[in-house]
Structure 1
Amino acid sequence: MSYDREKQVAIEATLSAAKLCEKVRQDIPPAMEKGDKSPVTVADLGSQAIICKAISEVFSHDPIVGEEDATELRKPEMAENLAKVTEYVKGEIADATSEQVTTWIDRGNGQVGQRFWTLDPIDGTKGFLRQDQYAIALALIEDGEVKVGVMACPAYPVPNHKPGMLFMAVRGEGAIMMPFATAEQTPIHVVKADDTANMRFVESVESAHGDQDRQNAIAQAVGIKADSVRMDSQAKYGAVASGKAALYLRLPSPKSPDYRENIWDHAAGAIVVEEAGGRVTDMYGKPLDFASKPKMMENQGVVVSNGIIHDTVLAALK
């Protein structure tokens, strides 16, 4: 089965959302707070609105499992924030109304099933607020397997051009990257064993997102001597897929050992790495379960590698 249409719609939607996010970032609006107190800006909501509208128009029967919803945004005291979100969305969809925007956002309240999309409208919100790395991540899951993954990374460095890189993959077709500035698509591959210069290790900037002491110990145990490169968001998957790093570890934090990852935080990145020749599992070597629930309840931790060192990493973790 061809997924060309799905890939094209996903690319166009994430690039449009990236334009909105960068416009918001230029203005740096005050962050709102979700119920769990993590920061969320009008960019998250505007990004989700744009992408959900695009998917729904072409694939009207496909559920979308997204990170955000419009419950808070509909409250009277949030009228100013709703107006801001709508104004930014209008930059990409000129005739958008506030009512449409909230409806589009809530299209992301779908359920996992035989075929569905999962969306993180801004993965790495803190990186976004710091003017650092973030990603707009969208993936199609069908019959329990990620079939299409697209990540727009507006702050990802591009030699001799402005930052901004799109990473994408279709199952069985390999992975590619495309600079925003040139739209030139290039196949990507994980780092080879003899490329010692890129035998690096990436991890999250936020210490609460993992066990940094253990992660560094594991990296050293498998022969990676350089200090870790700390990077927000699924851009880390892009670094591994494009051969700029050999390993990404996200091990449970000692402060929250029972934490389980959300599917939208990993699905798009996972297929990009796998199609680039790498491997993605949990810390016990089990495949990540993107098809059962929004949270990967049967998995703990995430190990992303060039494949060559993966079994050695898993053995070190034991």
Structure 2
Amino acid sequence: MSLPLPFTKRFAELTVLRAALLTRRVISAVTEISKHDATPVTMADFGAQALIMAALHGTIPGYGYVGEEDAETLRKDEALAKTVFELVREIGDEFAKHEVVNADEDLGVRRLPGVTSQAEMLDLLDLAGRGTPGPKGRYWVMDPVDGTATFLKGQQYAISLALVEDGKEVLSVVCYPNLSLDDGVVSETGVDKTGCGVMLSTIRGEGTEYRKLSTEYSLGPFRKLDRFPVPTSLADLRLVDCLASKSSRLDIAEALAKQLGALPFPGIDLWSSHVRYGALMLGEGEQGKHIMIRVPVGARGDPSRAYVWDHAGSQLLYTEMGGKVTDLEGKDIDFGAGRTLAANWGLVAAPEGVHGEILSLVRELIAKDSKQ
């Protein structure tokens, strides 16, 4: 079933908004649950993905679904599953009472489907959590709470939803429910105390839209973000990174910063992958002076540790503003190679006008490192 992209985008925006409101509900009283890899996952993770999947599966069936969470933990804990279901149903019912404010005569978006039973919720979680993207067809890629560690601290996190076709992003919505830009920069401590943060959305080829969200169950107006100007000097650039990362060569990123004169390193330090992309585009990032590189720890050819849901959607938003994203070999990112970015090695994100130069410098640093 294929629906017009403007309808699909509006529907995706409302879907992400509903999930964001759920996460805001639990942010101050969240229960942490252990996963096999010791990454914290929360009731907000399960609840947000369940609401997203209910909307997608109930409105646009027939596509594939790929999400971070499955229902394994909830199936082993009946009390927890019941608590999550009650939260999902509560938010779904509340959102339905206010959906008239989001009705759109032209796009025809009326009501988002909810979750009708605990068993349905578990099945929907498994449908995405066990999904695997392929090189052909359409599928939704979602990250219900990217940045659970900082979410638990009341800092920055993101909710992402991307429509991918034949391995390429077609449509994207990313919400940063805690983000305030009052200080002009994306930071962990720049928290929106009264609203629901910021939402970015796009259809490929149509530019990136920006919304400042309230908590009033509505999307509100948007503005189109300008395309990046060409940086006048590489020394004006700032690197966005995560000093807590154990999967990326921070030493090479810092060496690049020193070579460019782009100090201190990192210019912006953020935990969530999608929030780091957000820093490339928002606040002072709108000036096109922020870049990001990822040189994986380990040998070339090691299994990828980069998951599709940590990148899908944000890259389309960035390229619609005049950014360019490739891997370290200069290849486009392939979102159809499985649950990881297995067809790519590393990443360079920079404005189009300087991407080639940045990529060359990073490759020189990698070559120099390999000889040591």
Residues 149/197 of structure 1: CA separation in 2 closer, same or farther (3 Å cut): farther
Aligned to 1:171: 204
Which among 279, 299, 302 is matched to residue 324 of structure 2? 279
Question: Percent identity among equivalent residues?
Answer: 30
- The equivalent residue for 1:90 is 89
CA offsets per residue over residues 169-209 of structure 1, 9 Å max, x none?
A: 21010112111138331222335414999732211252214
Runs of 4+ with >4 A deviation: 160-163, 195-198, 254-257
1:127 matched residue in structure 2: 150
Alignment of 1:73-152 (within 5 A): 73-75=74-76, 78-94=77-93, 96-108=116-128, 109-112=130-133, 113-152=136-175
Show the 5 A alignment for 1:212-223: 212-223=250-261
The partner residue of 1:289 within 326, 334, 359 is 334
Amino acid aligned to 1:79: E
- Per the alignment, do residues 197 and 24 of structure 1 end up closer, same or farther by CA in structure 2, a change over 3 Å counting? farther
1:201 aligns with 2:239: yes
Pick which of 256-265 and 42-51 moved more: 256-265
For 1:71, the aligned partner's letter is: E
Which blocks of at least 5 consecutive residues in structure 2 are unaligned? 94-114, 184-191, 364-372
For normalisation by structure 2, the TM-score amounts to: 0.78
Q: Give, in whole Å, the separation in 2 of the partners of 1:66 and 1:202.
A: 25
Contact 2:236 2:262 in 1 (8 A): no
Residue 120 of structure 2 aligns to which amino acid in structure 1? Q
For these two proteins, the number of residue pairs brought into alignment is 315
Alignment of 1:56-75 (within 5 A): 56-75=57-76
Mean alpha-carbon deviation: is it higher for 173-182 or for 153-162? 153-162
Distance 1:255 1:87, change over 3 A: farther
Alpha-carbon distance change, 191 to 165 in structure 1, aligned in 2, over 3 angstroms: farther
State the 1:72 CA deviation.
2.3
Structure 1 residues 250 and 130 mapped into 2: Cα distance closer, same or farther (>3 Å)? Answer: farther
Assess, with a 3 A threshold, how the Cα gap between structure 1 residues 104 and 210 changes in structure 2: closer, same or farther: same
Correspondence 1:183 to 2:220:
yes
- Where 2:329 maps in the other structure, the secondary structure is coil
Q: For 1:197 and 1:90, locate their aligned partners in 2 and report how far apart those are by CA, in whole Å.
A: 51
**C-alpha RMSD over aligned residues:** 2.4
Matched, 1:231 2:270: yes
Of 250, 265, 283, which residue of structure 1 is paired with 2:294?
250
Question: Given residue 111 of structure 1, which amino acid in structure 2 is its aligned partner?
Answer: T
Counterpart code for 1:227 = F
Contact 1:222 1:312 in 2 (8 A): no
Aligned residue in 2 for 1:55? 56
Q: Matched residues in 1 for 2:327 and 2:204: separation?
A: 20
Q: CA deviation at 1:227?
A: 3.1
Letter in 2 for 1:171: R
Q: Deviations over 1:232-251 (max 9, x none)?
A: 22011122123515201222
Q: Which moved more, 1:122-131 or 1:262-271?
A: 122-131
Letter in 2 for 1:199: L
Are residues 171 and 22 of structure 1, via their aligned partners in 2, closer, same or farther at CA, if it must alter by over 3 Å? same
Unmatched 5+ residue regions in structure 1? none
State the AA in 2 paired with 1:37.
Answer: A
What secondary structure sits across from 1:27 in the alignment? Answer: coil
TM value normalised by structure 1: 0.91
SS in 1 for 2:92: coil
Tell me whether 13-22 or 205-214 shows the greater mean CA deviation: 205-214
Does the 8 Å contact 1:204/1:232 carry over to 2?
Answer: yes
Q: CA deviation at 1:102?
A: 1.1
Q: Larger C-alpha radius of gyration, 1 or 2?
A: 2
